[in-house]
Every structure is written in C-alpha cells, then in structure tokens.
Chains A and B, each alone.
Chain A
Amino acid sequence: MTIQASDVLGHFGQYGGRFVPEALIGALDELEAAHNAAKTDPVFQAELAELHRTYTGRPSIITEAKRFAEHAGGARILLKREDLNHTGSHKINNVLGQALLTKKMGKKRIIAETGAGQHGVASATAAALMGLECVVYMGEEDTRRQALNVARMKLLGAEVVPVTSGSRTLKDAINEAMRDWVTNVATTHYMLGTVAGPHPFPTMVRDFHKIIGEEAREQVLALTGKLPDAVLACVGGGSNAIGIFHAFIPDAGVRLIGLEAGGDGIETGRHAATISGGSAGVLHGTRSYVLQDENGQTIESHSISAGLDYPGVGPEHAYLHDVGRAEYRAVNDDAAMAAFSLLCRTEGIIPAIETAHALAGALVIGNELGPDATLLINLSGRGDKDVQTAADYFGIPL
C-alpha cells in the first residue's frame, strides 16, 4: 500500500481541495504561504517549541492504564495524556501555531468555531496570550451543553456568539464563522479547529498536531521496546486522531483505528459517524465523507459528545480509510459513557466524553487482539467540562 502525501492543491486522493467563495482565495493563499514559510523557519519553530515547553506543558506524558486494561482483554493500554495540556485538551497545539501565524500575517482579530468548547477555550487562551481580539461562534444548543466552557471563554476575554441557525451545533457555528470571515477577511484570521475545511487547513492543522504522534512513538518505543500494535483515537473532525496517527503512517504493522460517534446507533440514523455511515461529498470547503441525504443536503448529526457532533470529517481521514491504511468504527453513546465511567473508576482519570469513544474502542480492540497486544490511545481531553452531562447521564444529583 502506498500512502501519497497531499498535492499542492491540498488533495488527499479525491478528497480535500478548496470549495469556497472566491472572496476567500486570497486569504487562503496568504495562510498557505505563511504556513509553508513557518515550516522551514527555525525562528518560528523555536518559538513554537518554547511555547509548548513552557506554556502547553509538552511533552505530554504516557500513562499505562493497568486496571483499565483488565477490562480490555489484558492488552497493554498506554494513554497519551493530551488531557494534561494547558486548557485540558490537544486543541492548544493547533491554536498556538495558528496564533503565531496570525501575528506573522499582521492580523489582529481571530474568529473560531467550537462544539464542545475545547477549541473555543484554546483559541481564547491563545488570543489572550498574544493580545489578539477573539470571537467564538458556538451553536446555541452547545452553549447549553457546555455552559462551563462558555464561562471560561468569557473569563479569557473572548466574545462568545451563540448561533441560532440550523441545528444550532458545530456545523452551524462553522457556517457563521465562515460568513464572518468572508466579511472581515482583510483583518481577521479564521482559526479553524480541526483538520477539515479548505486547503491549507487540513494539512496545516495536522502539522500542528503531529507532535502528539511523534512524541508518543518515541515514548512507546522507549517504554516497550517496540511499536504499538494499534493506535486509537476518537474522530469528529479528526484533529487529535490525525495528530497521533501521522507519525505511525509509514509503520505498516501499526493499525490506526478511528472511533466515530455512533450516537443512538448508525441504524437509527441518529449518529455522527461520518465515515462509517456517510458518503463522499463537499461540506465546509472540502471534499470528504459527509452525512447527507439523496439531494446532497447535510443531515444533522447526533452525539452525546458535543465535540464529535459534526456531519463532516477531515479529508485525510477519508483518504486513509479508502486506501485501507486506517480503520474507522462507530461507538454508540452508551458504550462511550460506560468506558468513561470505567476509566474514572479504574484509573482516577475523568476523560472528555469525546475521548471516551476511543476508550470504548480500546475495550473492544483489546479483546480482539488479546493480552500480547499493546494499544496506544490518545487521551485527547479531560472531562471537567462534561461533569454536568455525565451527572445527568448517570443520574447523579447536582
């Protein structure tokens, strides 16, 4: 199997590219040039590395989850602790990189979309750190599900705009952010939070997150003397997954497994499992898998996890799926919440509900592979923001 790098127009096989109004082409070209220059600019790279060392808290550690592993067929379970990053998730990797690029491009204002609020909080944090104005678009439904993160963003000085159009979730927040960007593109950088959207976002956001897999590969080798048998991550837009997968793509013996949000079950139609239950199409500026009806209208997604509740997915995942380099499976809400609870009680770690989908996948894959296997899981975020949702789910009175 040959895995091709993306081409100059940002295509991963038949996926990716740019499907945007002409008004945005100049800004996307400018961003692409800034990103390409930064990749080989030792000053930029040193600045970002120093921020990660002294602010993010990188490298993030690996935790072996021995008690949790007893429920996963005895397979060795290693957790890459992105939840311990500043702001509580992997999202900070991307926003610090994009905030530095924003300053390089001379822009003073950033806009961002957010679902669970993790990317919004990370964006507001980076904006505060670098003295940028920050506006975060968030579906009204999500502002209710993630009220704590709304307050965090406001404390950090960001303006949070509840989006009342469409399904009032992440998809509509992206629509509104794109409308803002089309209007204010000369002064504003759109700090897209995942590996989707028009080129160069899927490659640029991946480049800022691939440090996760680069660190983890070294750490697992040092700890176990060999590569893991499988690398697991949850997939909404797919940024934490591509971040941990990327360094392992050339390692043909390492299975890459993405866990999508199965919601009430793919068969019910109420899910957010875009690759497992969708088809090829164009959404938010890129061609990838999309949840859509027979007329090409986007279908609203459903998941207990606001961060995975998105009817699209990054084009690189669509490509890795089609060429067979990565596998994608769906995890239903209930399975995710069972894994959430299990990690809390066996390891003393409260994961984000998004991340719990990867943990639920590990329970299944571990049993499939048996006790000799080593599974590396991206623990992409912590669950403080989900305490309300989890308490409701488990019937814990607040």
Chain B
Amino acid sequence: MSTALDLVFEKTRAENRAALIAYIPAGFPSKAGCEKAIKALAEAGVDAIEIGYPYSDPVMDGPTIQEAAEISLKGGTNAADVFSALKVASATGVAAVVMTYWNPIEKYGVSEFAQSIADNGGSGVITPDLTIEESGRWLEAVGKSGINPIYVVAPSTSDARLAQVTSKTGGFVYAASVMGVTGARTNVSVDASALVARVKNTTGLPVSVGLGVSTREQAKQVAAYADGVIVGSAFIKLLLNAKSEQEGLDAISALAKELALGVREGR
C-alpha cells in the first residue's frame, strides 16, 4: 500500500521535478506557532513536511536546530504534540513524516509510536541515529503500521553499506549532503551529487538531499540530480530572527515559494 509520501514522489516524477520537503520542530516557535508555520509552508507549495521531535541531546544538529529544540522542550513539547502537529500537516494535503532521534521512540513504545504515526496521517519516520543493525523491532513495527522507515546515509557510507541501508528503507533515502551537522551552508558540497548517484545504483527509491540548502539557487542545483530537496535550518533561522510571529510566518512563506520555484527549475 502506498503512503501519501510515496504518492508525492509519483507525482513529482510525473512532473519531472524534485519534491520540496520542509522541516519544522513540533512546538516551535510555540505550539500554536508551529501549526501556523505548517499551514504557511503547505500553502506556499511544499510537497512534504518533516515534523521534528525535539530531543535533549541532538548530536546531529547544528546551533540553529539546537536552539529551536531547546525552545520547544522548554515549552513542554512531548509525543502528543508531535502527533498533533503531524495531524495538522497531513490535513493540509501535504505528505507528513516525523524526524526523531531514537530514544523518544523507544521510551514511547516502538510499535505504539509507529501506529500513532499512521493513526495521525503520517507517512513515515526519519531516524538519523538508528542503525540498521538495531532496527529489528522498528522494521517489524513500521511494517505492521504501513509507514515508511526512512534512513539517512552520508558521503562516508560505503557502497556495500548503502546497499544494506537502502534495502531496509521506504519512502525515500535521505542523503546527507556533507559530513557534518545540520545548518545552512553557502555551498552544498559536490559530495551530494556523487552520493545521490551512488545511492541510485543500489535502489529505485527516490533520493532526497538535506543539510545546507537555503536558497532557490541551491534548490535548483540539487533538484537537477535529486528527487527531493530538504530544507530545515533556513526556515528555523527566519523564525528565530523574526521580530514577531507574523513576520516569521511571512518570511518562511516567501522562502518556501522561492524554493518551490527552485525545485521546478532544476531540469
């Protein structure tokens, strides 16, 4: 059975373009603000939204997402808020997934978490610190709940390892463009196109590129070779720097519209 995420990539492939995927942590900039941001991003033309589950020890994240996670956690964000944001996102008509470090899933209950994702209209979960070796219970749970297990691969991942990881992956393969943590970068590394090509040798799944994309021009460059363009820190930075909530929402809406043009200009 196809998830909403699978259908997004069917559509964007038919339109010969890349999908635009936006990341926003649940409970950021506030619980209500997050819902407004989700709606603004959906209206501006993103194809899918990743709801981040903020975690106390985000070792894969740079200063921007760390700050957002801290604000969200101080506001008391928990699993219920993540599911509620997911529901809001999927109700807008975009595909919605959750991105989270592993421990909150384990604490919540592995099969219960997967089922709650499905029950709230979610298509899958991105698990950046879950290795395939530790994925037994998780893969069983996502299989039962009919959602996509989305794994992250890196430029340092060997070809043999890529084949192992992508064989367990569903929805899309998340290709980290550079070695490092999340955050906007001036140049999306040349590693990214090489990595996408190597991933595509192992799987027919869509491949989306994240880490560092923040402008229409970068989105266009990445859209030339990838099936999806993931933008996170750039949106969060706008929300962090805005003088008012409305100013922040206007800014992310404007950026999302630019990026939506970018992903249509790549090919």
A interface, CB within 8 angstroms of B: 9, 17-27, 165-166, 171, 175, 178-179, 182-186, 281-285, 287, 290, 292, 294-298
- Quick one: given A165-B66, A175-B59, A295-B79, are A23 and B107 in contact (CB under 8 Å)? no
Q: Complex Cα distance A17/B176, Å?
A: 23
Residue contact A26 to B129, C-beta cutoff 8 Å = no
Q: Closest residue of chain A to B158, judged by CB?
A: A26
Instruction: Write out the residue numbers on chain A whose beta carbons fall within 8 Å of the beta carbon of B151.
Output: 22
The number of residues on chain B lying at the interface, defined by a beta carbon within 8 Å of a beta carbon of chain A, is 39
**Pick the contact of B55 from A17, A25, A186, A297 — CB < 8 Å?**
A297
| Minimal Cβ-Cβ distance residue in B for A177 | B59
> A21: which of B70, B104, B152, B158 is its contact (CB, 8 Å)?
B152
The 6 closest A-B pairs by CB, nearest first: A296-B107, A23-B154, A183-B180, A296-B104, A178-B59, A298-B56
- Once the chains bind, are B103 and A186 in contact (CB under 8 Å)? no
The distance in angstroms between the C-alpha atoms of A29 and B55, with both chains bound, is: 27
Contact partners of B57 in chain A: CB under 8 A = 166, 171, 175, 283-284, 298
Given contacts A17-B133, A26-B158, A285-B129, contact A294 B179 (CB under 8 A): no
A23 touching B134, Cβ below 8 Å: no
Whether the Cβ atoms of A295 and B78 lie closer than 8 Å is yes
**Residue in B129, B130, B134, B181 whose beta carbon sits within 8 Å of that of A183 in the complex:** B181
> B interface vs A, CB < 8 Å?
55-60, 62, 66, 70, 73, 78-79, 102-108, 128-131, 133-134, 151-158, 161, 165, 176, 179-181
Q: How far is the CA of A294 from the CA of B154 in the complex (A)?
A: 32
Contact among B103, B133, B158, B181 for A296, CB-based, below 8 A: B103
CA A116 – CA B102 in complex, angstroms? 29
A294 to B156, Cβ gap below 8 A? Answer: no
**Residue pair B158, A182 in contact (C-beta under 8 Å):** no
Contact B60 A282 (CB under 8 A): no
Most buried by B among A20, A282, A284: A282
Asked whether A292 lies within 8 Å of B180 as measured between CB atoms, the reply is: no
On whether the beta carbons of B78 and A182 are closer than 8 Å, the reply is no
Q: Out of B156, B165, B181, name the residue touching A186 (CB < 8 Å).
A: B156
Kindly state the separation between the CA atoms of A29 and B107 in the bound complex, as whole angstroms: 28
The contact sample of 27 A-B pairs, CB cut-off 8 A, is A21-B129, A21-B152, A21-B154, A22-B154, A23-B157, A23-B176, A25-B131, A25-B157, A25-B161, A26-B158, A27-B156, A166-B57, A175-B58, A178-B59, A179-B59, A182-B59, A182-B180, A183-B181, A185-B156, A185-B179, A281-B106, A282-B129, A290-B103, A292-B103, A294-B107, A295-B78, A295-B108
- A20–B129 Cα distance when bound, in Å, is 4
Q: CA A282 – CA B106 in complex, angstroms?
A: 8
Cα separation A14 to B106 with both chains bound (whole Å):
13
When the two chains form the complex, which single residue of A21, A24, A183, A297 contacts B56, counting CB atoms closer than 8 Å? A297
- A19-B59 in contact (CB<8A): no
| Inter-chain contact A19/B102, CB cutoff 8 Å | yes
CB nearest to B134 among chain A residues: A17
Q: Which of B55, B107, B151, B155 has the most CB of A within 10 A?
A: B107
Nearest CB of chain A from residue B42's CB, rounded to whole Å: 27
- Excluding A25-B157, A281-B106, A282-B103, 10 further A-B contacts by CB distance (< 8 Å) are A21-B129, A21-B154, A22-B161, A26-B161, A171-B57, A175-B57, A182-B179, A184-B179, A281-B107, A296-B55
Question: Mostly helix, strand, loop or mixed at chain A's interface?
Answer: mixed
Identity of the chain B residue whose Cβ is nearest the Cβ of A172 in the assembled complex: B57
Q: Which of B59, B103, B130 has the most CB of A within 10 A?
A: B59
The residue among B58, B134, B158 with the most chain A CB atoms within 10 A of its own CB is B134
- Chain A residues whose CB sits within 8 angstroms of the CB of B130 once the complex forms: 19
A296/B108 contact (C-beta < 8 A), A178-B59, A183-B180, A281-B103 known: yes
List of A residues within 8 angstroms of B179 by Cβ: 23, 182-186
CB of A161 to closest CB in B, whole Å: 14
Closest B residue by C-beta to A179: B181
Task: Provide the bound-state CA to CA distance between A186 and B55, in Å.
Answer: 27
Name the distance in Å between B156's Cβ and chain A's nearest Cβ.
5
Query: Considering the chains assembled together, what is the distance between the CA atoms of A24 and B176 in angstroms?
Result: 12
Nearest Cβ on chain B to A192's Cβ, whole angstroms:
13
| Minimum distance in angstroms from A84 CB to a CB of chain B | 35
Residue in A closest to B77 when the chains form the complex, CB atoms? A295
- The reply to whether B73 and A297 form a contact with Cβ atoms under 8 Å apart is yes
Within the complex, the shortest CB–CB distance from A218 to chain B, in Å, comes to: 38
Contact call A19/B134, Cβ cutoff below 8 A: yes
Contacting residue for B104 out of A17, A171, A175, A295, CB 8 A? A295
**Which residues in A have their C-beta under 8 angstroms from that of B78?**
295
State the CA gap A290–B152 with chains docked (Å): 25
Q: Which residues does chain B contribute within 8 Å of A178, judged by CB atoms?
A: 59
* Chain B, residue nearest A27 (CB): B156
Residues of A contacting B55 in the complex (Cβ-Cβ under 8 angstroms): 296-297
A290 to B56, CA, bound (A): 13
* B106 partner, pick from A26, A27, A294, A296, beta carbons under 8 A: A296
Nearest opposing residue in chain B for A298, CB measure: B56
* Residues on the B chain within 8 Å of A182, using CB: 59-60, 179-181
Chain B residue, CB-CB nearest to A199: B133
Q: In the bound complex, do residue A23 and residue B156 qualify as a contact, i.e. CB atoms below 8 Å apart?
A: yes
Q: Does B56 contact A166, Cβ atoms closer than 8 Å?
A: yes
Q: Identify the interface centre among B62, B153, B179: most chain A CB within 10 Å of its CB.
A: B179
Report Cα–Cα, A297/B76, bound state, in Å.
11
Write out the residue numbers on chain B whose beta carbons fall within 8 Å of the beta carbon of A285. 129
- Inter-chain CA distance A24–B155, complex, in Å, is 10
Expressed in whole angstroms, the minimum distance between the Cβ of B61 and any Cβ of chain A is 8
Q: How far is the CB of A81 from chain B (nearest CB, A)?
A: 35
Query: How far apart sit A283 and B133, CA to CA, in the bound complex (Å)?
Result: 17
Give the docked Cα–Cα distance between A282 and B59 (Å).
13
A22 vs B176: C-alpha distance when bound (angstroms)? 9
Q: Tell me the smallest distance from the CB of B154 to a CB of chain A, in Å.
A: 4
User: Contact between A297 and B104 (Cβ–Cβ < 8 Å)?
Assistant: yes
- B82 → A minimal CB distance (Å): 10
A22 near B165 (CB under 8 angstroms)?
Answer: yes
B75 to chain A, nearest CB (A): 13
Rounded to whole angstroms, the CA-CA distance of A261 and B158 in the bound complex is 42
In the complex, the answer to whether B157 meets A22 with C-beta atoms within 8 Å is yes
